[in-house]
Structures are given as structure tokens and as C-alpha cells.
Structure 1
């Protein structure tokens, strides 16, 4: 029987994104103000802080200005400042600049950032304050107290297992990290948050979470490029290559040193099982407007992630006995503004204030920690989330109903025609189609254009690495479901919604049907789209061995 070493902390943060980094920093600031010594730890599954962090990103600076009022003087990494917004509607070959930019998307004066660099900067600040930062450690399972309802900590994953799950000569068992308060800030579809939702009723009475999957690139441009003379350097698009019934859109932001951030997001409530997310991204890049922007460029980094966009009504209960939820793990995101970093950071900071009160009171029970939810609701975070509380649900509507709902929300501060507009689980929205109708012609990626790369090249440019002789961290529970149900009904959509080419159909010898799905798990970008969108819930994403996965540096 494997023995697990145990280490005790006052507070344990799971996930090294902006929410938990800001929360850990704020907690140590408060401890210093009150003259208290705390043992605080933060673990992250990436090999380094920031290596799994990817976002657009135009950042509202309100939260970082609260955390560090002189953040610019302290070297906070800013790529560019937004000098103007461009909003375009795209058709197949044309683009139309929309004269009015929605108020939530007014970004002039906001910094354009690399989230990976922001997290590294915050990580350095956290270490300076004495926080124990442990990259390369994945939270594998929640540890509960004897009462079965109090979170006592987290066990990290074992290292050095072979592909059959047996210990190798370099085997290291996971560690039990125990804490008075555990803060789960794993990002969208966090595996520990999902596990806890199966144990405790944290989602009772809440709407289903809604998600979008985005693919992002950093492209190096020549010296003479569009943004040198453009009055705006923050572009968003609507329309092509999606139809108006499928939510999603693109973005292009100017970065420093003649680079741009370019990406496209697709809402995972789409109905067409033939939709290929990466192919959609390439069609977006092939549009004449985008080709004009990236001409002469070279993709230097690519990645993907899912974003929880359901917002206010899909947020879980934010506190349980011994634990809190922060950032996008708790569906904290402004879909109308297409932003979440500032909200995530502030959620972590408010969690820190609640934790300090709990420690001083000697009570980390749910009733004490529930003050976090009230703090958030009373803050500018709550105000912004309530304004977008029905937005994602309205986007999922079809035809004129979509625009009527959105217009009503625009003039009523988010309430719209019906408050708490219903939502449908993304895993349930695909419409059955014959497998022979799913052979849609793919976009022909030019072989001689370094600004246009295929899917496997994109995986390479993400820096993704996984040891091949370990158990797959992606679990297909029953291959018969793939063969007998998913293929004839939907044509195995996992082969199209995965942006990393993880899923591969193994065709039958007679060419009629499939024998199963082959998993190329070493390609996994950790976007977790498969865990969200699989129509039979036959796929579960778990953390691989700590330190593996993407290695973002500029995204």
C-alpha cells in the first residue's frame, strides 16, 4: 500500500492563474498588516507558473491597480495600450466596420497583455512575500475530513507510473497537502471542482455551465504592418466563418515588438456535429480582412483553452466547509465584455479577505466562508456579472429572438425580457446526422505560408510535452459507446472539436464503421473541450503527471 507524506499549511491555493495568485498575494498583504504569520502554499500543474496560462488578452486594470497601485512602476508586463476599438462583421469575402462598439467592449486605455507573462510576474511577487510556490504538482483528488463534507486538503498526483499505472524505478507517490482553507482556482472545468460537485451539492439550483473554446496564436509580423498606422489596435469580429445562430467570434490585438495576438472562440452549445473548431479557426484566418492583418507574418506560439461563460446564474455555491472557489473555475467571467482576468483577480482578493477573517475567528466552516459570496455580490465584480447574467443564454437563441433578447438586456441593465433566462448543457445540443454527411471539405492550409499552420504544427508551437509511457490522462470509459452510438449518430465529434488532434477514428477493415477511437493523449492542450462537449459523457479529462502539457511563454 502506497504511503503519502503529509504537509500542513494554513491556506492552500490550487491553480496558479490570476485569481489564486492575486488571492495569495492579498492574503499575505493582510497578514502583514495584522502582524500574523501564515504558511501559504500554491500548486500548479504546469512546469512553471504561467506555462498553462493563455488568454486574449485585453485587461481591465481595475483589480491590479487595487493590488499594486504602482503596478506600472513595478514592472507589470504590458504589451501595448489600447488606443482604439475596431468591431467588424464578416461575410464570406467582405468585412463591414460596425460604427457602434458595445459599451462593455470599450477598451481604449486598457493594457493588452500576455496572460502567461502576467502570471509569471504575479508568481514572482508571491514568492517575494513568502508564499510557497510549487509548479509541476497537479491536484489529483480532494481530501475530505471525517465528516465527509469538510475539505481538508488535496492529494497531488503520483509521478513515475508506467502506461499500465504501475510504479517505475523513479516512482514518487503523491503528497497530501492539508490546509485549514483550500482555494480551488483551477480555471474552466477544473477536475477537482468537478469532483467536489459530485460529492457536495455546490451546483444545486444553478443553471448548467456554458463554455466557449478558443484557439489563440501569437504571430510575428514584419516591421511594416497594419497596426503601424491604424488608429485602433484592438479588433473583434462577428459572423464568418460561423452562421448567426452559432455564437463565437474572433479577435486581433497588437502586442509589442511587431507581434499580434490572434484568436477565435466558438460557443460549445453549437448543434452541427460536423463543425471542426480548428478548421473554423483556419477559415477565419483565411478571410481577406485577417489575411491583410497577418500578411508576411509567422506563427510563433499557439494554444487553446475552454472558457466558462455562463456567468452569474451558472456560478456554483462559492463556499463549502474548508474551501472556496475563485476565478473561471467558479464561472466568473464577463461574456459581454469578453474579459475575465480582472474579475478573477478580484475574486481571489475577496476570497483572501474572507479567509483572513476565518483564520482570526478560528472557524473555516461554510457559514463563515459564505461571507466571500456576499463580498463578491456587493463588489464591482457582482455588478459586472449581474449585468451579463443572461447574455450567454441570449446568444444561444436563434433568429430574431437572439437580437430581441440582447437589445432588451442592453436597455435594462442585463435583466432583459426574462430574468434567469434558461440555459442548455453544452453536451446535449448536437443534432444527429448520418456519418456520411459529416465529410465536410476542410480548409486547405497553405504549405508555404508561415502565418498559416496546420493542427499538428500548432501543437508543436504550444510547447506541449507529455511522457508517452504513462497512463493516459484522458479516459474513454466505454469504446462500445464510440462504435455503436457516437459514430452512427454524430460521426465521433471528438475528432473535430479537439484542437490538438488527440482523437483518431480507427476505421473498420471493410470501411464500414469504426473499430474504436485511438487516443493521442500526448497532443493534449489541456483545453478540456472533450470533457465538456462529448454527447454521451463518455470522456473524462484528468490531470496528467505534474509539469506536463503546454509551455506557453507569450500567449
Structure 2
């Protein structure tokens, strides 16, 4: 589609993604200069529709952005009252005393929240300040200036046929141009990947690492509900097969968030992360809690886990990366929303300073420095070695040596190990099937555990079937000719939504992509051993429709 076929709209700042990072940037921009024209583009059907997070919220980001949020009607009401850590075996558990945990691991003063609802509320605050927010607007491409700087995005392209040609109701979308463009797409954002590659933003940083987070909301027996209780577990069922763990958060209305995280650097291609999650719920401690309850929602999302050493350069000509687009999750704390908010605030402040000096479309070096030298850096640096220690030496080393490293950082401000490297990408970590044995998973019982397609229906995911498949293959033959014989077709297992299937047998086997099931977790883009799958944005408004995630 030629540029001349599209209408253009001019703004001071264009923000991609109405998550905590993008909305914080929009709010801060208008706080500092009410006359700025700011637009936020969100691919979900509404703000919050694609937001999935644990979440125990560290309010420090919101305190910095909207100090009076407690009196502004924010949906942040369930303060953490009890904090527990458990090591699970197959039939029992051992509670780790809280006093052994470094102070940074404490959830005192934090809140159990639905980040989807928090983002909906933040959007209201942004709109009250004059920010324009357009949901249902996928940003499918970047627009560049003649000097190579990012000028804007293409958003709102609708009506393509399955072959990519314009259909009878085709709408070419619009180009939205800005003096600066902020990318707050979340983990493994499609536009963020492009600017990282184009400007070599990761040239001096370590490889990024990821986890797959899966989450269900359960309504449980009121007699078992303990509002404000937070439980984290490690160990069974993953054992030595993969790193990861679980969370169980008691929010209000007799509901609990039950979540499970699998680190995506696992070696065994037979590992089935979704089924590990379902098996986890049959642990006696968890089964007793959920018995008599009902699951009301399901979703999944990749999590950035590289931390401090994996942060790319955050600013590029014409814009910057925000929050999880860069990877600002504190892995041991399982928290990134506060850093996302702080990054949006810092980017906004750098932009206002630049515009006041008559600058535009340049590199916001001040933003990069503010992140690394400010609160975000102080949050990420002390825990930077926990993930690489876990990856190299396993869970016990992460608990003991990683815990000691966090203690020395907390007490003395230094690490015993310096800064450890992550080594391989998660795709490269996948080993050949011949080096491993298949894993026999019990069938879901339909009471505590469920098959993938049934659970996906609880994400309220929908994609218009007549659009092009947004999951692109670099080589259509690779799944059957390479991934199936060498890696036993891992895409049929690593996807938490049942998008990928190998159908047929022998010479007749085919690779099938059920893109209608996609919950936009991005795991395929990360874990595919051949790096053959590229996740792109589907038509705006499509995908999951999470109510309270």
C-alpha cells in the first residue's frame, strides 16, 4: 500500500500500547505540558483486553506518577496481608521462612490487582487530561523519515483477504506521525523487534530471556478464601525439567489468581508447559484450595526475564522503548508493572525537555540514562544474577547462591559474581528430541485441570477468520522437514493455546496453524528452535478479551 493512499494525522507524541508503560507516558506528558497532542494506540478491543499480569503491584510507579491515586478511585484495594514461599514435592511442601528471604522479596505495602482494570482506570485519567486513546487499532508497520528516524506508525488497516490482498471492505488504515514515537507493546513487540534490529539497540547487551506465564481466575469456597494472601511456590512438578514456579493470590470477592511460570530456556522439547500448569493444580495444597470452586478465566503471556544485563539501548532516532518492550521485569520479585510506569514517566520527561529545547526526532539519551541510573536500575541491578544462576545450576543454586547474592547486594551494594551472562537464547537452548524421553502427562479431569481448547474459550479469544494469518513462517517446509524429525514438533506443546498442530501421518503429515486460537503470548516467536515463526499483529480488536486479568 503506497503512502499516498493513506490519510495522515500529526501529533507531538505517538504511543503504541495502552499498557501501564504507554499510559504512564501519556499521563506524564500532559501533566508537564497540557498543550501537547498525544495519542495512544491499542490493538485490543478495549483498554485492558490484552493485559495479563499476576499481579502483585508495587505501587512505587503509581506513587511517582499519580501520588493521590488512593483518593482517585483507583481499583487498587486489596493490600497484601500475608506472604508465603513454599518448596513443593509431589505430595507435600516445605515453607521457606520469610526471614531467610532478602528484604526486596517482601510484599509488604504491595497490592493484589487486576492490571487490566488498573489500565482501564489509567486510561480514564489520561483521557481526562486530553490524551486521545484509540482501541482496536493494531499498528502494523513503522514509518520512517528520509534520514532514517522513526516518524510514526501505520494503524487501523482492516479488510485484507486471507492471501493479503485488499478485500471488498478494505480500509488502508492511517499514518500517525509524531515528533517522537514511544513503543509500549509489551514483551516481544513486533515493532519493537524491528527497531531493535534496525538500530542495533541490543549490540552491547546480553541476549533476552523469557518465561511463559499462564493464569486462571478461580472463584473458591468463601471458607477457604483469605483476602490479601500471597503464595509463591517452586519445585514440583517442574523438577529438573525446567525452571519456573507458581503464584496464588487471594484477591477480593472470593477469587484467587492461580498462575504458573515456565522459563523458556528448557532443553527437553517434549516438555509441555501448559500441562505442567494443569498438573500443578493437582498438588494436595492447591487441590484442597480449589476443590468446590470454579475457573472463570484463562490467559497466557510471555514474560521478559533477562533483566539488567539484557536491557538494550532504550532510545532510538525518533523514539524510545518502554517497559516490557525493553524487558524491565524483576524476575525474583515477579514484578515489572512499577518499572513500566516509571519508564513511561521518564520517557515523557525526556520528551518534554527535548521539545522545550526545540528538538524532535532525535535520540533521547537522557531517557536511557534516567532508567539505568534511577529507580529502575536500582531495582534490577541487585537481582541480575538470579536468573543466570538458575539457568546454569538449577533451582537449589538459585535459592542458596542467588539468595546470598541478593543479600550482599542489599546489605553492601555489590555482587559476589559481578554480572553473569545468560549464554544461549531460549530457542538455542532447545535440544534434539533424541537426547530426551517423552513426558507422560495425565489427562485433564475437567474439574481441576482442563484441555487447552476448553481453557482458551475462557479467554474470550476471537479472530476474524477471513484475514491473513498473523503467524508467519519464514520457510513453510521447516516445521515438517526440520522441527518435527529433529525436535519432535515442539510447537504443538509450547503454545498454551493449541495454535499449532501436526496433522496426518508419515509422508502425508502437514503443519496446521489455528491462528484463531492465538492469545498473543508470543511464545512461538521466542521458543521455536529454528526461529521460523514470526508473530505479527492481527487485525485491530482481535485476540483475547480479558475481563479482570
TM-score bucket of the superposed structures, by smaller chain: over 0.9
Match of 1:545 in 2: 539
Helix, strand or coil for the counterpart of 2:21? helix
Distance 1:349 1:330 in 2: 15
Q: Distance in 1 between matches of 2:507 and 2:432?
A: 16
- The CA deviation string for residues 271-314 of structure 1, in whole angstroms up to 9 with x for no partner, is 11011011010011111111111111111111000011101111
Partner secondary structure for residue 427 of structure 1: coil
Asked if the contact 1:193/1:329 (under 8 Å) is kept, the reply is yes
Is contact 2:201–2:312 with CA below 8 Å preserved after alignment?
Answer: yes
Larger deviation, residues 427-436 vs 341-350:
427-436
Correspondence for 1:502: 499
The one of 513, 521, 539 equivalent to 1:519 is 513
Mapped contact 2:241–2:271 kept (Cα < 8 A):
no
SS at match of 2:286: helix
Residue in structure 2 matched with residue 31 of structure 1 by the alignment: 33
Given that 1:406 and 1:416 are in contact with CA atoms closer than 8 Å, whether structure 2 keeps it comes out as no
Structure 1 pair 514/266, CA: closer, same or farther in 2 (3 Å)? farther
In the TM superposition, 1:230-245 aligns within 5 A as: 233-244=229-240
Judging changes above 3 Å, is the alpha-carbon distance between structure 1 residues 462 and 289 closer, same or farther for their aligned structure 2 residues? same
- The CA distance in 2 between the partners of 1:128 and 1:514, in whole Å, is 58
Using the size of structure 2 for normalisation, the TM-score is 0.95
Unaligned runs of at least 5 residues, structure 2: none
Contact 2:241 2:268 in 1 (8 A): no
More deviation in 241-250 or 113-122? 241-250
Alignment check: 8 A CA contact 1:302 1:461 kept: yes
* Native 8 Å contact 2:390 2:397 kept in 1: no
Gaps of 5+ in 1: none
Alignment of 1:283-298 (within 5 A): 283-298=279-294
The aligned residue for residue 196 of structure 2 is 197
> Contact between 1:435 and 1:489, CA under 8 Å: does it hold in 2?
no
Provide the residue aligned with 1:410 in structure 2. 406
Secondary structure of 2:540's match? coil
Please tell me whether the aligned partners of residues 502 and 510 of structure 2 are also in contact (alpha carbons under 8 angstroms): yes
Indicate yes or no: 2:373 matched with 1:378. Answer: yes
Moved more, 77-86 or 260-269: 77-86
In structure 2, C-alpha distance between the alignment counterparts of 1:526 and 1:310, rounded to whole Å: 20
SS state of the match for residue 509, structure 2?
strand
2:442 matches 1:457: no
Alpha-carbon distance in structure 2 between the residues aligned to 1:422 and 1:531: 19
Is the 1:144–1:152 contact (alpha carbons within 8 Å) kept by the matching residues of 2? yes
- For 2:41 and 2:405, the matched residues in 1 are separated by 40
Task: Tell me the SS of whatever aligns to 1:265.
Answer: strand
Q: What is aligned with 2:464?
A: 467
Residue in 2 that maps onto 1:532? 526
Following superposition, the deviation at residue 418 of structure 1 comes to 3.8
The count of aligned residue pairs is 540
Residue 244 of structure 1: how far off its partner (Å): 4.2
User: 1:37-186 residue pairs with structure 2 within 5 A?
Assistant: 37-100=35-98, 101-148=101-148, 150-186=149-185
SS at match of 1:134: strand
Contact kept in structure 2, 1:89 and 1:239, CA below 8 Å: yes
The two structures have a TM-score, normalised by structure 1, of 0.94
1:433: how far off? 1.5
- Larger deviation: 418-427 or 337-346? 418-427
Identify the residue that residue 488 of structure 1 maps to in structure 2. 485
* Aligned-residue offset at 1:156: 1.6
User: In structure 2, what is the Cα distance between the partners aligned to 1:244 and 1:514?
Assistant: 36
Q: CA deviation at 1:366?
A: 4.0
- Do the aligned partners of 2:58 and 2:109 also contact (CA within 8 Å) in 1? no
Shift of the 217–514 alpha-carbon distance from structure 1 to 2, 3 Å rule, reads farther
Structure 1 residue aligned with 2:187: 188
Hey, what does 2:22 align to over in structure 1? 20
Query: Over residues 211-248 of structure 1, what are the superposed CA-to-partner deviations in whole Å (9 max), with x where a residue is unaligned?
Result: 001001111112222427xxx70000000111146220
Q: Which residue of 1 aligns with 2:275?
A: 279
Provide the rounded CA distance (Å) in 1 between the counterparts of 2:434 and 2:77. 47
Q: In structure 1, what is the Cα distance between the partners aligned to 2:201 and 2:223?
A: 52
Question: 1:432-452: per-residue Cα shift (whole Å, max 9, x none)?
Answer: 1149943x32222113x2x43
Name the CA shift for 1:323/1:296 in 2 (closer, same or farther; >3 Å).
same
Q: Which moved further from structure 2: 370-379 or 42-51? A: 370-379
